[in-house]
Structure 1
Amino acid sequence: MDIDTALDETMRKMELASLLAPATAIERNVFEADGSIERFLVKHDRDVQDLKTQFIDLQQRVERDFVDTKLAFETHPVETHHLEGLDNLIQVIAMRATELSEAIAKSRGVLKKQVKEFSKFSSKGATRMNKQNLRMLEVLKKEVALHTKYTLLYRALRADYSNKQNSVRISSTSALDDFFDNLG
């Protein structure tokens, strides 16, 4: 895979990668339940488990995409537009981490209010719902950490190739002499 394809594919996947789209998706209305507290809680247990499974899939995809992109950079000539594409990818990933962090912070209060409302109907159910919410928030925090990690890895890749582009390769003593002669 060439660099342009690797960057385009990774960018496309990263734009779709978040487990949380839109950000308000983790806010749920307990009064939309079909009347059964138990069915409501069982459904949300499944939702949290599905979120964990989706996170594992996301983690594997992001890792594969990074490996593919890094390999493309290692095996093809790197041009300025490739580094610009990498800069754009880094921005998308960093922005995804920021947006998700903000959504988690905003949703904490909403989720606490919902647990409080739910406790009016079932204290046991409210305790269970609170545990679900905490597990869900942990998965989402892991997603933030994943995006942050890959932002840093892509930045390191970018730094490696920025340095390589600006460096002069000298492979022989005659090339070294030519280099010094050209300095003036």
Structure 2
Amino acid sequence: MKTLLLIRHAKSSWNNPDMDDFDRPLNKRGKQNAPEMANRLVSRGMVPELIIASPAKRTRTTAKIMAEEWRYPKQAILLEEELYLCYASTFLKVITKIDDDFSTVAIFAHNPGITDFANYLTEEIRIDNVPTTGIFAIQADTDNWKDFDLAKKKFLFFDYPRNN
């Protein structure tokens, strides 16, 4: 079994409207929500063995904050340029390259791609929007990440900061 955690970056700052989108940092709420959501995963017994993230500043920072809560070495976070503002199909390209030794993997990315990909993965649930720091979890009945797309999948949960 392979478990995939799709995580949207935390809330970013728009204080400087002239700043390049790629370089936008997290705002105060984003910095608070990231550790909270990481701990929600811990309470579910789900800590990723591998973290892959878009290299955009807000996404990298979200991944680092959550990694700290999971005691995951920040330097081991894989930055995947293709994940920056990607289409849903790009996620599959990234997933097929994952080493099969990893059972639970977290991918940090952006909308609209992350919402589109979550909806592609299951017919059990439809999501209008994965909000910032939202987590969509799914399990695939396969031992190989390269077979993830065609494997039978089971929706596990969808959680986000304002989901009490």
Q: If each structure's strand is expressed as a fraction of its own residues, which one has the higher value?
A: 2
TM exceeding 0.5: no
TM-score normalised per structure 2: 0.25
Q: How does the TM-score come out when normalised to structure 1?
A: 0.23
Report the structure number with the largest CA radius of gyration: 1
More helix by percentage: 1
